[in-house]
Each structure stands twice: as C-alpha cells, then as structure tokens.
Structure 1
Amino acid sequence: MATSSSTLRVGVVGYGHLGQFLVGRILKEGSGAGVSLAFVWNRNTNKLKGCVPDDLILSDLTTFTDRKCDVIVEVCHPQIVKDFGLQFLSQAHLLVGSPSALSDPTLNQKLQQAARQHGRTLYIPSGALWGGLDIQRLNDSGTLKALFIRMSKHPSCFRLTGDMLSDWTEGEGRRVLYSGSVAELCPLAPNNVNTMAAAAMAAGALGFAGVQGEIVSDTALSDYHVVEVEVTGSNGFSVHTVRRNPAKLGAVTGSATYNSFWNSLLVCQGHGGRVHLC
C-alpha cells in the first residue's frame, strides 16, 4: 500500500475526456505530485497510440494484475465496474468514476465486502457534488433525514437510455425528464448522474432508493450545468446549495469536475477496508 512518502502508482481504465485529462496531468505533473502511471487501458487501443507511452498501454484488461499499482481509476463505463470491480479490489484500491453502477444493491454489497476482505478502499469521487463530506457526516451521526438533488443541463449534454430526449428542439426551454428515486434514475442516465450516485453513497442510511433525484433538460443552459442539493436533518436543520459548473454544449462532464477528480485521486491513500468519499 502506498504511503504519503511514496509514489502512488495509478492504473487508468478508460480514455475518454476525463481519462485523457488524468493521464495527461499525471504524465506532466505526476512526479511533483507523487503520482505515476502503471498502465492505461481503453476499449479502442488505437486511441492511445501516440498519446500514451507504448510501455504503459494495456491492450488486454484481464492482464492488469501484471502491472503493479496502488489504485485503479475507472473512468470508462458502469459495466466495467460490474465486470472487473471485484478483481480490481483484490489487487488495489479502486476509484470509481462511474458510481451509478453502485445503484445495483448486490454489486454495491459485494464491492464493499471485497474492500473489507482485502483491506482496500472503495473510493467515491465527489465530482460535481458540493458538500458531500457534510452529507456523510450527517449520515454517520444518524441525523440525515432526507436528500434531494436536481441536475439541470442543456439537452445535448445528456446521454440517456431509450428515447426520452429524442424529440428535443432548440429553444423549447425547461423540461423535467425524471423525478424520483436515484436507484431508478441511474439505469436511465448512467453517464449523467454520477454526482447523484456519489451523494447516495455518502447518504448510506438513505441509500439509492431513499435519495430523491431529478434531471431537467433546459435549452437555456448553454454555458453551464446546474446542480442543486437539498439536505434535511433533524430538528429543522436544512441546507440548499446551487452549483453552476461551466460546460460546453454536448459536454457530459462540467469543466470544474476535472480538477475535482484530480484532487480526489491525490487522496487515494491510506483508507483501507472501507468506502471513502473523496
């Protein structure tokens, strides 16, 4: 296990926008930040050539055990967490960039059991979630009563299953696409609601079924995403935050989330055997 005085060896699974950002930053700044690359995997290996040193490219993900690393960062797709999460935790800490996968209660339980069994940490990045650690503290103290999250984006920024948004037109304004439990929402928008999934992990007592979420398509939001969080505690306590995350049209991830994810990666040390929001 890496310590604060050693280099954190990182395996990156996925080379989309977020994966490219993390790999590029590790290659450029890693030595100064105490981070190095163990491997990079992408479904399309050709995308890595010329961008990642050849000796760091992993062509077959099933051979990841050949590359010694301290933490594996998944920034690919929830299916990777389902297919490889248990194997990853048997070898290293796991930073789950697609926590919507954890809305599957069986998978969630198995991953937490594996973390305890192997003394590894299941890291959940805060991403665009503001106040996640405060939510976790309320949860741990037994005073968290309710949690609601609304995510509003331009329709081009959503990646939804089915045809929920196939008929949108520019200038139509605001449309509520879904309102209900985060457990039911995650399969509908697995790439868009990782912020909600992180919140559901922080609010363990409520769980995915108990946390309420809403996604809103709004053609007026051409420059940023909006994330609203409403927390209700005991004795009349409540908090309402509104975060505007700059984002280009069509961007699934807001720009501020990239640096948030980098900061999450830097703390992936020394929390073995548990779930840790970072």
Structure 2
Amino acid sequence: MAKRRIGIVGYGFIGSYLFEKLKNFDKYEVCFVWNRTVDKMRGAIPVDLILEDLAQAHTRSPDLIIEVAHPCITTNYGAYFLQHADYMIGSPTILADPAVENIICKTPYPHGVYVPVGAMWGAHDIRKMADMGTLKALKVTMKKYPSSFKVLGYVAENLKTVKDEQVVIAEAPVRELCPLAPNNVNTMAIAALAAHNLGFDGVTGCLIADPHSTVHDITVEVTGPAVDGDNFAVLTRRSSPTSPGMVTSTATQDSFYSSMTMACGKGPGVHIC
C-alpha cells in the first residue's frame, strides 16, 4: 500500500511535533516541510525535505498539505493547494473573512478541505444538529492566563485592565473576534464551521483573562429546540493544564495528530476531522 505523502507548512509548536511523529510511521511519508525562517529547520530536517518556495509545493506530489503556520497561508496559497492535494487548515480563524470563506469553502475543488477539531469538544455532534436544523444557539467561552492571549484592537485594550481578578475581555460574534484574536480563537472558528446553520455571525464567542488560571478552560453551551417550553441544552467544559503564556496547550498536539489521521478519503467539500 502506498504511503500517504504529507506536506507540512510551518515548523513551530505543532509542525515540529507532527514531523517527529510522522517520520516513525510506515503509513505516512513527509514529502516537504516549509517554514518562514528556513534556518530554523536546518539540522533538524533533511535537506531534501526542505521546501523554500510554497509555490512549488505541487512538485513534491503531496496527498495532504497541513497548515500549522499562519492564517495568511490559506489566503495566499489555499486555493492553489486545493488544486493539487487535500488541505488541512490549522488556522481556521482566517475563514471568518467572507472573501476567504467563499474561495476556500464554497468553491468546488477536486480535493477536500479538512479542519481539525482541536480543543472543540463535541464538534461532530454540533454539526449533526446543524445538518438537521435543530441547533438554535451556540456559545464558546475561553478562559486563559492573561499572557496566553495574543490579541489586537479593543480586546488588547481590555486585556490591559486585568489585575487581580478575571475579566471578560470580549464577547461578540465569532466573525468579529477572529481577526482580533487570530492565534487564540481557532476553537471558536471550528465551532462556527461545525454550526454551519449559524455560521461565524451566529455563534457567540467569549474571552476571559484570569490571572489565577493554570489551565486553558473552554466551555461550550449548545441550545436546541424547545419541547414543552424547555430548550434542549448541552453544557461541556474542557480543562487542559498548561503553563502561563502558552497560546496552545500540549493536549492540542495529540488532538491535531489524531485529526490528521482522519483527513483522508472524504472527497471534495469541508470536513471536520
């Protein structure tokens, strides 16, 4: 059986982890690794696997290209990648941009778009409800240590007010939050994609900075149809231990790898994996 050829775009926290995992499995073969700073890869990546120009990715004949670098990669190269391979987006916040969402999610390509669930517990169940039209509301709340937030605009100003107590630094539709916290709210972007009947405008995101937090805490509130006056509701909480200042918890590495193993064989369209 032929090995599945994987191209990795980004050699940071998750990209380096994926490379180390994949090189030990007979089922997969890394065909290239790209990083904005090439020197970071030298000595760690075999020279023949280093790709310096993303516009040449197709020459390595990838089956799956994985983005774990920056949202702009999807803007600049997503459509090109999808002409040649399946594409797994590690920075789905960029899909909150309506223009990018249209190009990547609504244009027919010969290959599939895969979005890993990451820290979004229950994404598949939410998508089932969205498919049936029974999902009425969805709110995702993320609580982290203040320095774990890499935010912009008014959210950054609100973050400066945090002292000894937790502060809600933002609560808004996910489409609004994605460009203001592109490194922090990938989980919310995944929620909006799963909840496709609500979308980026209909899913609410809430960011809480807590100076006493030692975990990344994510609460998901799902509201379904009313029966005899009471709404169907599900409340989940995911608590992942981490160090202050870390944007992504170590649990996300394993989750991302698991998603990668499912990013195969589903054909064209957008798939939660």
TM-score tier by shorter-chain length is over 0.9
**Alignment of 1:271 onto 2:263:** no
Give a deviation string over 1:111-170, Cα, whole Å, max 9, x none: 1234x332x11101000000000000000011000000000000111111244366366x
Structure 1 stretches of 4+ moved >4 Å: none
**Alignment of 1:124 onto 2:115:** yes
- Counterpart residue number, 1:256: 251
Give a deviation string over 1:5-36, Cα, whole Å, max 9, x none: 53211100011111111111112x222xx111
Q: How far is the alpha carbon of 1:94 from its aligned partner? A: 0.6
Query: In the aligned structure 2, how far is the partner of 1:237 from the partner of 1:167?
Result: 38
Q: How far is the alpha carbon of 1:245 from its aligned partner? A: 1.1
Query: In the aligned structure 2, how far is the partner of 1:164 from the partner of 1:57?
Result: 40
Change (3 A) 1:167 1:142: closer
Equivalent residue letter for 2:235: H
CA contact (8 A) 1:39 1:56 kept: yes
Equivalent residue letter for 1:200: A
User: Identity over aligned residues, as a percent?
Assistant: 42
Q: How far is the alpha carbon of 1:224 from its aligned partner? A: 1.1
Mapping 1:214-225, distance limit 5 Å: 214-221=206-213, 223-225=214-216
Change (3 A) 1:220 1:270: same
Equivalent residue letter for 1:183: R
CA contact (8 A) 1:155 1:168 kept: no
Give a deviation string over 1:183-222, Cα, whole Å, max 9, x none: 000000001000000010001110000000001100111x
Query: In the aligned structure 2, how far is the partner of 1:6 from the partner of 1:113?
Result: 31
Equivalent residue letter for 2:171: S
Pick from 4, 8, 20 the counterpart of residue 8 of structure 1: 4
Give a deviation string over 1:241-268, Cα, whole Å, max 9, x none: 0100121111111111110000000011
Mapping 1:105-254, distance limit 5 Å: 105-114=98-107, 116-118=108-110, 120-162=111-153, 163-164=156-157, 167=160, 172-221=164-213, 223-235=214-226, 236-254=231-249
Secondary structure (helix, strand or coil) at the match of 1:81 reads helix
Pick from 59, 62, 66 the counterpart of residue 69 of structure 1: 62
**Corresponding residue pairs, total:** 267
Query: In the aligned structure 1, how far is the partner of 2:217 from the partner of 2:206?
Result: 12
Tell me the TM-score normalized by structure 2: 0.94
Change (3 A) 1:64 1:124: same
Query: In the aligned structure 1, how far is the partner of 2:168 from the partner of 2:32?
Result: 41
Secondary structure (helix, strand or coil) at the match of 2:109 reads helix
Query: In the aligned structure 1, how far is the partner of 2:197 from the partner of 2:2?
Result: 35
Query: In the aligned structure 2, how far is the partner of 1:166 from the partner of 1:209?
Result: 23
Greater Cα shift, 249-258 or 155-164: 155-164
Change (3 A) 1:94 1:219: same
Equivalent residue letter for 1:254: S
Tell me the TM-score normalized by structure 1: 0.93
Equivalent residue letter for 2:151: L
Equivalent residue letter for 2:222: V
CA contact (8 A) 2:65 2:87 kept: yes
Equivalent residue letter for 2:6: V
Query: In the aligned structure 1, how far is the partner of 2:217 from the partner of 2:10?
Result: 26
Structure 1 segments unaligned to the other structure (5+ residues): none
Equivalent residue letter for 1:111: I
- Counterpart residue number, 1:102: 95
CA contact (8 A) 1:174 1:219 kept: yes
Give a deviation string over 1:70-107, Cα, whole Å, max 9, x none: 11000011111111110011110110000000001221
